[in-house]
Chains A and B, each alone.
Chain A
Amino acid sequence: MNRILAIARNTFRETVRDKILYNLILFALVMIGSSLALGQLTLGNEDKVILDLGLGAISVFGLLIAIFIGIGLVYKELEKRTVYALLAKPVRRYELVLGKYLGLLWTLGVNLAVMTAGLALALGYTGRAPAGAYWRLLPAVGLIFLSLALATALALLFSTFSTPALAALFTFFLWVIGHFNADLRTFGELSGSPAVEALGRALYYVIPNFGNFNLIDGRGVLQTAGYARPIDPWAVAGAGAYALLFIAFLLALSVIIFARRDFK
């Protein structure tokens, strides 16, 4: 466990050296700037616009970080041949994969925390959000974190056997398709063919369902009279369990593939 944590710590340091965290300053500025500009453009609901934009930006920025760092995690070690030095030490291959994954989650966590603080600041600037809205941000950001953790696991899996460009494409396309799972199932049902219906149903379960993490948006966070969409804790817990299961599966697959690789 100590070795995994040591690799995670080093991965975190490595990603920070990649200057990824600089995007946070830009993000905070964009948030505050947009809160001023968009307040002029919309008709009512300024606070909801800030929340929707903020949560959307956290999600997009997070996805970019997850994909573009995730795809290089293992590939870079192979490319620079540092993997020989690492594996010459008493480090097992699965520890390397898990450590890399945890390190990137650490980076994502820090990024999300700073971006959430920026969003809370922008929200506070308007002075219109109810006091409870700040706490209600946490489950919303928590779900975004889970979806990013899943995307990271996908990126890591592809980086164990593919080039960074292909891994980025695979991860991005699976993220996109992962929003259409329900449509694939419905398409199968509408086709009238038992085989296509079975295929649609199988794909519904096999492809990671990113729609599971869209449970809370600006409406759920604000909870004003017009946006009374309560947060269902069981739905959030279900999404958490789903993410954990899928991540465990993807990491196990990554470990198996990485363990079988021949580095000669």
Chain B
Amino acid sequence: MKSGGGRHPGTRSGAVAALVLAALLVKPVQDFIDARAPAGEEPDLLFFNSPELVRKMALGFEPLLADLYWMRTIQYYGRRDDEGRRRESFENLHTLLDITTTLDPGLQDAYRAGSCFLSEPPPVGAGQPELALELLEKGARSHPLQWRLVYERGFVHYLYLKDYAAAGETWLEAARVPGAPEWLAGLAAMALSKGGAEEIAVSLWRRQYEEATSDAVRDNARNHLHSLQVKRDLAALRDRIERHRAATGSFPPSLGTPRDPMGTPYAYDPRSGRVDLDPASAVRCLDVP
């Protein structure tokens, strides 16, 4: 004993052994607890669902809290595909977006991407285009000089609510915002004439694909463009098969190698005359008008 402080030669080695043992045991114990946790879908709970209450509780950290809520919204929306934890609805999606935009009304991505998340029909989105319109109107009140938010509203009217007159009127409203591009007036005119619905849809999705500031929105636009292309291709191929059968009494033995937008050949069965998207195709086909 060097000094009278109770030092013992075995103390240090004992402490090191305890330290190493404890460190090694943490993982198995945690894994044991996790393994016993009830499996299945996570409860879709939101403890604070009043945007004003959350804003009051932010104590001056509203912008930071808005960022955190926005990230939470993205995770909430993005985790829908988790195996075994697939949500059947996005019950809290609008509330999360409402809280985010109340905490920071300047967060324009939340309005734009959020309206897309809300509008898309299930299982891709919440299938709540009315709430998407509400969100975009809230955004337009905070940003009266942002034509894009008004344009997005027309987008929801046109593609999700199929209300072409409202879409045309909304795009006319967007065209009147200072700094709005000239093509908006043309788009409004086309919608109001109710002609060329598919052409407008392609034009809208292409513009959104080109101008998207987020990957989620861009991917969604690309999926819609691909789906529209597949729909057109399949209609043309089926028409061709039908004409061949009418002329020869049999299905064509081959269609050549027509490919979908991701490069996979369409699956054709010459015995039944059925043509469809190959199950192995990378195209994520959506229900398009």
Contacts and interface: CB of A to CB of B under 8 A. Distances in A.
Interface of A: 38, 41-45, 48-49, 52-53, 55-56, 59, 176, 179-180, 183, 210-211, 213-214, 217-219, 226-227, 229
Contacts of B137: none
Contacts of A218: 63
Contacts of B104: 219
A43 B113 CA distance: 9
A213 B59 CA distance: 11
By CB atoms of chain A within 10 A, which of B64, B109, B213 has the most? B64
Contact of A41 (B64, B71, B109): B71
Contacts of B64: 52-53, 55-56, 217
A261 B64 CA distance: 43
B13 interface: no
Given A45-B107, A53-B67, A229-B106, 4 more contacts: A41-B71, A44-B214, A214-B60, A226-B109
Nearest to A43: B214
Contacts of B109: 43-45, 226
A226 B60 contact: no
A43 B60 contact: no
Contacts of A49: 67, 71
Contact of A179 (B59, B108, B213, B216): B59
A48 B70 CA distance: 12
Contacts of A226: 106-109
B60 A227 contact: no
Contact of B67 (A48, A59, A176, A214): A48
B74 A217 contact: no
Contacts of A52: 63-64, 66-67
27 contacts: A38-B67, A38-B71, A41-B71, A41-B75, A42-B67, A42-B70, A43-B113, A43-B214, A44-B109, A45-B67, A45-B109, A48-B63, A48-B67, A52-B63, A52-B64, A52-B66, A53-B67, A59-B60, A180-B56, A210-B60, A214-B60, A214-B62, A218-B63, A219-B63, A219-B104, A226-B106, A226-B108
A38 to B, nearest CB: 7
Interface of B: 56, 59-64, 66-67, 70-71, 74-75, 104, 106-109, 113, 213-216
The residue among B66, B106, B215 with the most chain A CB atoms within 10 A of its own CB is: B106
Contacts of A219: 63, 104, 106
A36 to B, nearest CB: 14
B213 A44 contact: yes
B6 to A, nearest CB: 27
A229 B3 CA distance: 66
Contact of B71 (A42, A56, A211): A42
Contacts of B59: 176, 179
A183 B214 CA distance: 38
B92 to A, nearest CB: 17
Nearest to B78: A43
B277 to A, nearest CB: 29
B61 A43 contact: no
B250 to A, nearest CB: 53
A56 B65 CA distance: 10
Q: List the 10 shortest-distance A-B pairs measured between CB atoms, nearest first.
A: A217-B63, A56-B64, A52-B64, A44-B109, A214-B60, A52-B63, A43-B214, A226-B108, A179-B59, A49-B67
Contacts of B74: 41-43
Nearest to B143: A226
Contacts of A211: 60
A230 B214 CA distance: 26
Nearest to A176: B59
B60 A179 contact: yes
A175 B63 CA distance: 19
Contacts of B75: 41
Nearest to B75: A41
Nearest to A211: B60
Query: Which residue among B56, B59, B74, B109 has the maximum number of chain A CB atoms within 10 Å of its CB?
Result: B59
A168 to B, nearest CB: 17
Contacts of A229: 106
Which residue of A48, A176, A179, A214 has the most chain B CB atoms within 10 A of its CB atom? A48
A211 B70 CA distance: 23
Contacts of A41: 71, 74-75
Nearest to A179: B59
Contacts of B56: 180, 183
Contacts of A180: 56
